[in-house]
Amino acid sequence: MTAAGPVRVLVLWCPDWPQTGQAAEARAFEQVLSVVEEFCPRVEVLRPGACAVGARGPARYFGGEEVLARKIVEAVTGRGFACQVGLAEGLFAAQLAARAGAPGVVTVVARGQTREFLAAHPVSVLDSEEMADLLPRLGIRTLGEFAALPVAEAVNRFGVPGALAHRLARGLDPRPLAARPARADLSVATEFDPPEQLAEPVVFAAKALAMRMHAGLAASGLACVRVQVEVTCEDGRQVSRLWRHDGLLSALAVAERVRWQLAGWQAGQDAAGQDAAGQDAAGQGAAGRDEDPADRLPAGGITVLRLVPDQLVRDGGRQLGLWGDAVVSDRVARAALRVQAMLGHGAVTRPVLAGGRGPAEQVTLIPFGDAQDPEFPADRPWPGRIPAPGPATVCRDPLPARVADAGGVAVTVTGRAQVSAPPARVSVNGGPWLEVTSWAGPWPVAERWWQPRLARRRARFQLVTADGAAWLAAVQDGRWLIEARYD
Amino acid sequence: MTLTYIESVFDIVRVVVGISQVSRLPVRGNDYGASPSGAAPAVRGALPALPTPPVLPALPVLPALGELLPGGLPRGTVAAAGGWGLLCLALAAGASAAGAWCAVAGVPQLGVTAAAGVGLDPGRVLLVPDPGAGWPQVVISLLDGCELVLLRPPDRPSAGVRRRLEASLRRRGGVLVVAGDWEGAQARLLVTRQEWAGIGAGHGRLRARRVQVVADGRGAAARSRARWLWLPGPDGSVGLADLASTADPASTADPARAADLAGTAGQVLRETG
């Protein structure tokens, strides 16, 4: 690294920002970003809940780093968001500094002190499980101890991840920025004529655009650390935002950033028109609009979408796992994208097995291209879950049913899971009465009684009817429901 | 068997000859002098040079279905499975287990745990629960990416739509498994009888289902066959259900009748389909 060293970076971190990968969070964070942007126009979003700005220019303008940081904290806190700010050399140290404080506190690491500041931190902050696991076993517990190793030793022993981690531990940027500017303009743009009014087609175009950008970068052997998404409206306004890329984002992930940016901008537009006091209500309104298919964009529609790769570095390559990765081939991705373009983003899903007792809860459908883990993992014990084999037909919404005993009286289940009489006939969704030939149950489940909104008590039955069909039925609040059919 | 195969080859050749004559006519333009008999030798001469379609192996099926579908699911064909049920998933499971991507269109109520149970890998599945009115185009797009598409048509497809889909199937070498009826399907499977095991009057639970599946079709699959299968078996997978170990003699055919079933299968299909 040159003598200049990494630039001074200011990181703003909102400690209790939810991190579930929902677009609503990114949108809400837009309100924080708009505050920070008043101090420095080039804000880099690390993820919803954290952003970074280069501190040198604004610090000079506002009369010192400390002053700048305080002003930002006050402004953001004034909008009702808890935040803490760190200022140090390099993004890594600045992030740690931000986390070191408490809400409303500014932590400024003095110029030249970054390496000392880092030295006390445990190696677990390196955000690499491999290093965090390996180094303590070798007796290296802090970044200072790690940084004391000779560079060559670190590279020999730990390879590329070790070299990166060693640079971080020494207070340097993880990789040297490309010294030369890009020879060719690697930015890509697409125009919409007539201006596009809806968000969905713009996001779809962004996928193809990102593929083009990646192809261009790959042809030059480069990767970009950040990608700038520029959206130009018909009335000439331009909104641009930097997103962390690190050469790791797929085309779909870039498109997802574009979606967030459009949605966030829209939320910002709406919030601006409303009373500042009604911020929470605005946030909820934005979340509600998520499902609205007609996601209209403000300002007469979008005319140009441009993706600009920022901070080009040599592409070190990325190794996919040899086994275990369900790699989505380009062919499949293209087919899925085409169907998404026809029917919308949420119309093509991938099933992920999740945890739960009923058959409907055991699956989470994730829109193609989104990375999301099910809320309840499948590899936990779920006492009382419906035993295998699973039903081939799972009703999206349980069907109402009527179940009667031999005398024609409706069958009920008591609070102690006693059946009033053996079920003899069943009518599904108002259909004809079917004779029950065999049955099993009740299997009572009381779920989430600690959360009144989600609490549920059900007694489940399996019924086989004379036509050979088998049903998964349940009694809830005295009503019979058909949850699934084994066919 | 061999004979029917040869016949079907002749069918194809005849169709191709027809097509080549049709497509040749405009090229010949004003050359009315050429008699049909004059054209015939040229066509016959072209026959050996017919572009053979790329020979891709048929998609494999689960071992338990091997006797019903000898040779698996040939690419570019349609298999109809009577109606939505585990049989459709079992048909797709063999290909999925072999690494193929499967798409399921028009089945919002798909039970993914059941699918995983019969051997369909959820990691290589695309779901399009509601393909809408433009479902033929959706299916064609899905066939670009997936070797096998499992479809429950939202409406009865017209002959034109069927031809379009079949042409696109042949071009892409995919397989369409239809949960429902499909005129001209190469293979047709149907659950004709089923009985659940493990559940009694107020005790036990659904453990396994023995089903009789009857298969017939066209070409190599023209002869009807019937087999008893565990669908699902006690562990959710698909297996052959041995006739000797049947629990309920009343609902089970004796071996002699089982052999006869092959003959009556077509009738059964007509009755139920």
**Whether residues A91 and A120 fall in one domain:** yes
Residues in chain A: 487
For the segment A317-355, what is each residue's pLDDT rounded down to a tens digit?
Answer: 544 434 333 456 767 877 887 787 777 778 889 998 888
Angle between helices A251-273 and A279-289 (to 10 degrees): 140
Compare CB distances from B86 to A329, A333, A487 and report the shortest one's residue: A487
The helix (H) or strand (E) run that includes residue B149 is strand B148-151
Q: ω into residue A442 within 30 of 0, thus cis?
A: yes
What dihedral angle (degrees, nearest 10) is formed by the CA atoms of B123, B125, B126, B131? Answer: -150
> Across the interface, which of A334, A349, A487 has its CB nearest the CB of B127?
A349
Average pLDDT, chain A: 80
Whether A335 and B129 lie within 8 Å, measured CB to CB? no
Question: Do residues A360 and B171 make contact, with C-beta atoms less than 8 angstroms apart?
Answer: no
In a domain, A346, yes or no: yes
Question: Which residues of chain B from 8 to 67 reach within 8 Å of chain A, CB to CB?
Answer: none
Among A430-444, A449-463, B42-56, which range has the highest average pLDDT? A430-444
Residue A275 counted as domain residue: no
Judgement on whether residues A74 and A44 belong to the same structural domain of the protein:
yes
Residue A175 in any domain: the answer is no
Both A145 and A14 in one domain: the answer is yes
Stretch 147-206 of chain B: residues touching chain A, C-beta under 8 Å: 193-196, 199-206
Kindly state whether residues A96 and A165 are assigned to the same domain: yes
Judged by CB atoms within 8 Å, which residues 369-408 of A form the interface with B?
387-396
How many residues are listed for chain B in this entry? 273
The reply to whether A24 and A151 lie within a common domain is: yes
Query: pLDDT tens-digit profile of A47-90?
Result: 888 888 888 888 888 888 889 999 999 999 888 888 899 999 88
Three-state SS letters, A172-235:
CCCCCCCCCCCCCCCCEEEEEEEEECEHHHHHHHHHHHHHHHHHHHHHCCEEEEEEEEEEEECC
CB atoms A392 and B137 under 8 Å: no
Please write the tens of the pLDDT for every residue from A362-380.
Answer: 888 888 876 666 777 777 7
**Confidence band, pLDDT 50/70/90 cuts, at residue B251:** very low
**For B165-190, what is the mean pLDDT?**
91
The residues, any chain, with a CB within 8 Å of residue A234's CB and separated by 6 or more, are A195, A299, A300, A301, A302, A303
The CA distance from B85 to A392, in Å, is: 6
Instruction: Look at residue B238 and tell me whether its pLDDT is greater than 50.
Output: yes
Q: Which of A25-39, A193-207, B259-273 has the lowest mean pLDDT?
A: B259-273
Q: Does a structural domain hold residue A180?
A: no
How many domains would you assign to chain A? 4
Residues A304 and A430 in one domain: no
Cα dihedral A163→A169→A171→A177 (10° resolution): 20
Residue A334 domain flag:
yes
Tell me the CA distances in angstroms from A458 to A438, A478, B255, one per residue in order.
Answer: 20, 9, 45
* Radius of gyration of chain B from its Cα atoms, rounded to whole angstroms: 22
- Quick one: CA dihedral A466, A471, A473, A479, positive or negative? negative
> Closest by alpha carbon to A192, among A177, A176, A213, A206?
A206
Q: Which of A120, A135, A169 is the last residue of a domain?
A: A169
In a domain, A452, yes or no: yes
Please name the residues between 213 and 242 in chain B that touch chain A, using a CB distance below 8 Å.
232-236
Please check whether residues A263 and A195 belong to one and the same domain: yes
**Is the domain of A338 the same as that of A469?**
no
Please report the pLDDT score of residue B272 as a whole number. Answer: 40
Q: Find the closest chain A residue to B142 by CA distance.
A: A335
**Residue A259: which CATH number?**
3.30.1490.100
Instruction: Taking residues B41-68, report their average pLDDT.
Output: 66
- Chain A environment of B100 (Cβ under 8 Å): none
B31 vs A335, higher pLDDT = A335
Tokens standing for B199? 């559940």
Coil, helix or strand at residue A169: helix
Same domain, A20 and A160: yes
**Does one domain contain both A84 and A145?**
yes
Residue A277 domain-assigned (yes or no):
no
For A232-253, give one letter per residue: b (16+ CB within 10 A) or e.
bbbeeeebebbbbbebebbbbb
Predicted-complex ipTM score: 0.71
Distance, in Å, from the CA atom of A340 to the CA atom of A330, rounded to the nearest integer, reads: 15
pTM value is: 0.55
Q: Domain containing A22: what range?
A: 8-169
Same-domain pairing of A351 and A470: no
CA B236 to chain A, closest CA, distance in angstroms equals: 4
B262 touches chain A (CB under 8 A): no
Which residues 468-487 on chain A approach chain B with CB closer than 8 angstroms? 468, 470, 484, 486-487
**pLDDT at position A372, please?**
65
Select the more confidently predicted residue: B179 or A43: B179
User: Considering only alpha carbons, which residue of chain A is nearest residue B133?
Assistant: A343
DSSP assignment of B220-232: GG-S-EEEEEETT
Q: What's the whole-number mean pLDDT along residues A287-311?
A: 65
Q: What token pair was written down for B177?
A: 């498994």
B125 interfaces chain A, CB cutoff of 8 Å: yes
Residue A312, C-beta contacts closer than 8 angstroms, at least 6 positions apart: A178, A182, A186, A217, A222, A223, A224, A225
Residue ending a domain, among A169, A201, A216, is A169
**Region B106-116 average pLDDT:** 92
Can you say whether residue A456 is alpha, beta or left, with left for phi > 0 and alpha for psi between -120 and 50 degrees?
A: beta
User: Does residue A471 belong to any structural domain of this protein?
Assistant: yes
Q: Give the closest of B84, B124, B236 to A390, CB-based.
A: B236
